[in-house]
Structure formats: C-alpha cells, structure tokens
A and B are shown apart, each in its own frame.
Chain A
Amino acid sequence: MSEQQSPFRRFWSEFQENRFAVLALIVVVVMALLAFFAPHVVPQNPYDLENLSLLDARRPPGFVGSGGYSHLLGTDPQGRDLLSAILYGLRISILIGLAAGVVALALGTTVGIAAAYVGGRLESVLMRIVDLQLSFPAILLALVLVALLGQGKGQLITALVAAQYAYFARTAYGAAKGERRKDYIEAALATPLSGRQVAFRHLLPNCLPPLIVVATVQIANAISLEATLSFLGLGLPVTEPSLGMLISNGFPYMMSGRYWISVYPGIALIILIVAINMVGDQIRDQFNPRLRK
C-alpha cells in the first residue's frame, strides 16, 4: 500500500508531468499577479484622467511622454500608457471572468444537482430551460442582457452568468445523474442521512472533477466573451477600458500603421486565454479515466 496520499497530492504530481501545462499555469499565475498588483507595478494610473494628456495620444512604443517616462508599448488614443492600460484591463478581465465563472459554477451546479437529485417534474422543468438556453449562442443572450441592463461590472457579470450557467448545469446534471445511481449514495441514504447531507457531502464532491474542467474553460470563455462585448461597445464604460475595449479603441488606427494600440492588448488576451485553456486541457485529461496510466 502506498503512503498516505490525498487525491489533491496525487493530482498535483500528475499535473507536473506535463511541462506545457505547468508553463501555462505559471503564465496564468504571473498574469493574474501582475494584474492584481497593477497599481504598484505600472508607471501610470490609466483611469485617472488628470494623468493623461492628449498630446501623448497614439505614440509608438518607446516614446517618452509628458510624464517623463518611456511608454514601453506606446500609448492609446486617449494618451494612456498602453502597458498600464493593458495590466489594468487584464485586472478587469480576470476579475469579471473569475466572478462570472464562480457565480455561474455555483448557480449551474445547484441547478444541475438539484435536478438530478430530486428528479421528477423539477428535473424536467430545469433541464428543459437549460436545453433551451444551450440551443442558441451564449453571446446572443449576453448581448441582449447587457443591452437591457446597461453598462457596469455588475451588469456585465450578470449577463455572463446568465449566458454561461447552463454549461455548468448540464455538466453537473450529467455527473450527478451518473453518481446518483451508485451504491455509496444508496448507502448514505440507507443510514439514513438527510437529503442535504447526501447532496452536499457525497454527491457534490464526486461531481466536481468534470465541473472543474468546465470551470477553467468557461472562465476563459467569460474573459473572451467580455472582451467581445467590450469590443462591440456594450461592456464597460470607456473611462475604464478592459482588454476588449482597448482592442476596439485601436481598431480604427490599424490601417494607418499604429498597430500597437490593438495588437498588444490582443496579444495579452490571447496569451491569457490560451494559457487558461492549456491548464484546463491538462485537468480534463487527468480526469479522463481512459487516458490514465
């Protein structure tokens, strides 16, 4: 018998075997840390309009502006230092993606597990709503909701949650439906333990693996969805640009050679999303029993 090993330990040692996934995880963590500590890292507060000068607008990378420091990645049409704006934008993107992902996870899991556990009419009603929602693209629903609710972080998160919880609900439902039939659930019910205890202490932990996979992918999706909405001008106010809005702001200047305004935020967005997806892929592979050694 092997030494005492918690499932998490085992998981981590297996995760480490994939160098790319570890690299991706490091990238995600570094970006998250940079974004989180952005105010202490960057030379300029891009949201403070007093700091901005329109004379510095659309300057190329390396330009030394009125603030007296070099704009490493250039400046945007409002004269913001692009590096600062990207890190601040990253902060908003990660915050919104994470918040939307976590809330959607909680909501979707509750819906899915309740449907699978209770069964009967509740199951039919809940899952038909979910199916209905999954049958048209998430961005459509998000667009409509943002248009209805207006701008702001809370509204954006609400829209993203509404668009994405269905994926979690479907996954949780499928997992819970499978676990529900297993003997250990029956054993818990035969003790007897309360329905709540069975659902939370036994059913939920055993449904987590596929949910974690979906969660990583959906956080990346939420970030790109938010970027899409912002790019379309439906996300956050112009004064607090997220990555999508920065890309959108630079878009008109692409053809006039001022590529950096759109391209650098775009690169940051792509790196983040690809890295999150790589981590997600590795987690998915590890949870897939058929790929297990």
Chain B
Amino acid sequence: MTAFFRIDRVSRAFAPEITLGDRIAAKLGARVETRSLQAVNAVTLELAKGETLGLVGESGCGKSTLGRVAAGILPPSSGTVALDGKPVLLNGRKATTRIQTVFQDPFASLDPRMKVGETVAEGPVAHGLVSQAKAGEYVSEWFARVGLDPAFAGRYPHQFSGGQRQRIAIARALAMKPDLLICDEPVASLDVSIQAQILNLFLHLRRELNLTCLFISHDLSVVRHVSDRMAVMYLGRVVEQGETAQLFETPAHPYTRALLASVPKLTLDDEAIVHFEPIEGEIPSPLSPPPGCHFSPRCAFVQERCRREAPELREVQERRFAACHFSESLIEQGSSDFKGFDR
C-alpha cells in the first residue's frame, strides 16, 4: 500500500558548524559544542488523499522542523518524503509544486517590498500555471476566494492586518493549485477572534478543493476542530498517533494525556473556576535526551522499566499507535477516569 503522502523514517539533525576558530579554541581548552541536535527522529507519517493530519506538541518538539522537511524546504538527514510515490526532493531541491505551505507569522512570510498581488502571482507565473497577461485576473479570483477585496492587490503587506495577511498567504499557497497543504501554526500568531475566521476559511477551502493537509499546531482545540487524525510529537519522535476523536477521549500515551489535561478550562459545575494540570518539569534538552523513554522524567505513570527501555511506536489498537509500554492499561482506565479535555 502506498499512501498519498508519506513521510518515511525521516530524521533531521542539526550539527553545529565547527569552524577553524572553534577547533583552535577546543585545542586551547575551551568548551566547544560538537554534539548535534536531533530535532526529528525517525518519524513515519502517512496521509490519505483528502485527509487532515494534526501534528501537535510542545515548543521545541520538532514539529515545525518536520513540517519544513515535509514541505521540501529542509532536506532530511535521513529518510524520504514522497507525494504519490514520487520523492519531494530531487538533488536537494524541491521538485514539486503540489505541496505548498502556509507559515505561522504572516508578518514575516510576505515580502515587505513586493505588492501582495505580485506575491500571489509570482509562483503561478513562474511555473506556467497562468500567463503573465492573465495574472491580474487570476490574482483577483484568488483574492475573492479568500475573502479579500481584489482591489487590494496593489498594496503592500504593511497596509494589512494580521488576519488579512494570513488570507493573502493562504491565497499564495492555494494559487499554486497544491494537492497537499502544510500549515505551520497558521493561526498561532493571530487574535482569537481572527483565528476563527481563518480556520473557517481554511475548512471551507479544504472541502472545496479537496485538499490533503498537514496541520501543525500547539493548540489542541484548533487541531481537534480541523483534523481527522492526529500525531503527538515529543522530543523529535511521534509518541502517539490515531483518530482525533479517539485520541481526545482515551489517550494511549501519558504525554498525550498530560497535554490534554494541561489545557486551562472552565469548570461550570458550581462556580466558574479555571482548572488545569500543568505537566511537571521541562522538556529535556534534545542535545542530551534522558535514557529509556524520553518522557520518563516527567511521566506520572513512570515505572522502573521506562527508565531502562525506550518503548517503540506500536499499534496498540486498530489504526492507533503509541510509544508507551503501558498504553493498553492507560486506555482501559482512561475511559473511566480521564476527564482531561472538554473544551
């Protein structure tokens, strides 16, 4: 079986650049960082056509790096990314226009010195999707589709609000007629009221264009809203993967469970109180991950075995994967006492 989009055992390490100066400094006894940082570690993900996969995790867990590898911006250290069985990278360069990306910060992702209409038209013209002569018309059409006045095409990014800019960024991505859209925290930098508008626009266009989507976010309520399946990342690895609804109901990994419980929420039983359980401790340094299960220093259910033996990602239920030695018991007790997430 070949999936529509497949990220196959992708790893990405960032090695420090060791210059001549560093080498001399090291010889003289200075401490020079030579360890490489494993941002993404042997991650395999598959997306069926038309499906949206939500990728969640704390800051620094490698989800953005994985997104950039998937988008063909960053070459993986090992592993392959393929769309329809064809590799995304060819000789280190992105070889397809069928994958497009919407970036997190619409204030940074639009060229400040280019009129937004040109920004949207640039890709399609360069790849022959539309002729230079028809570009204006094409841009107007896309502006209308993302809910912008086509007359705005002659303006510069600084003349727009964050929400409008993100609409432009979406138009730029979709004007390339992609099959797969990678959204890297597309609403994280927007006001909450604007977030809803952009999400609705996104959901509407996804249905209309039958897009497959990799949706990266740290906001669980957003991911729950938009994705069919989701994957939870921790320290460069996927620790749990499954249907969104199932995952929210009975998390099979203690990290997912803790993540869900850590979201502040209102309990409206007697009085309105804010209730949440933060995850203990901090995310360990990816330069020196703990032995055994990477989550063990922070895990509420930690056993002796966890500190020695790193759990593999395995199928714990049908179409449900988790990297924990005790997933089954978690699922079992989960349905009875887990009341982590109810937003």
Contact = CB atoms under 8 A, between A and B. Distances in A.
Interface of A: 1-2, 4-7, 182-184, 186-194, 197, 201-202, 205-206
B339 to A, nearest CB: 39
Contacts of B94: 189-190, 192
A186 B169 CA distance: 13
Contacts of A201: 114, 122
Nearest to B157: A184
A193 B123 contact: yes
A184 B112 contact: yes
Given A183-B108, A206-B111, A1 B159 contact: yes
Query: Does more than half of chain B's interface fall in helix, strand or loop, or is it mixed?
Result: loop
A187 to B, nearest CB: 5
18 contacts: A6-B156, A7-B113, A7-B156, A183-B104, A184-B109, A184-B112, A186-B73, A187-B103, A187-B109, A188-B111, A189-B94, A190-B71, A190-B100, A191-B123, A194-B126, A197-B126, A201-B114, A202-B114
Nearest to A186: B73
B101 interface: yes
A206 B93 contact: no
Interface string B9-23: 000000000000000
Nearest to A203: B111
Given A187-B103, A191-B100, A205 B154 contact: no
Interface string B170-187: 001000100000000000
B97 interface: yes
B163 interface: no
B165 to A, nearest CB: 11
A206 B127 CA distance: 24
B159 A183 contact: no
Interface in B226-278: none
B111 A186 contact: no
The 9 A-B residue pairs with the shortest CB-CB distance, nearest first, are A183-B108, A183-B109, A191-B123, A192-B94, A205-B113, A184-B111, A190-B101, A187-B109, A190-B73
B123 to A, nearest CB: 4
A91 B164 CA distance: 51
Contacts of B123: 191, 193
Contacts of A6: 156
Contacts of A187: 101, 103, 109-110, 169, 172
Nearest to B155: A4
A189 to B, nearest CB: 6
A202 B111 contact: yes
Nearest to A181: B108
A206 B113 contact: yes
A186 B111 CA distance: 10
Contacts of B105: 183
B57 interface: no
A205 B115 CA distance: 12
B159 A193 contact: no
B181 to A, nearest CB: 12
B172 to A, nearest CB: 7
B154 A183 contact: no
B114 A192 contact: no
Interface string B111-148: 11110000000110011000000000000000000000
Contacts of B72: 190, 192
B288 to A, nearest CB: 26
Given A7-B156, A183-B103, A183-B105, A191 B111 contact: no
A195 B148 CA distance: 30
A2 B103 contact: no
B176 A184 contact: no
A110 B175 CA distance: 32
A205 B71 CA distance: 26
Nearest to B20: A124
A186 B103 contact: yes
Contact of A192 (B93, B108, B159, B172): B93
Nearest to B151: A4
Contacts of B108: 182-184
A206 B73 contact: no
B340 to A, nearest CB: 34
A206 B73 CA distance: 21
A183 B156 CA distance: 16
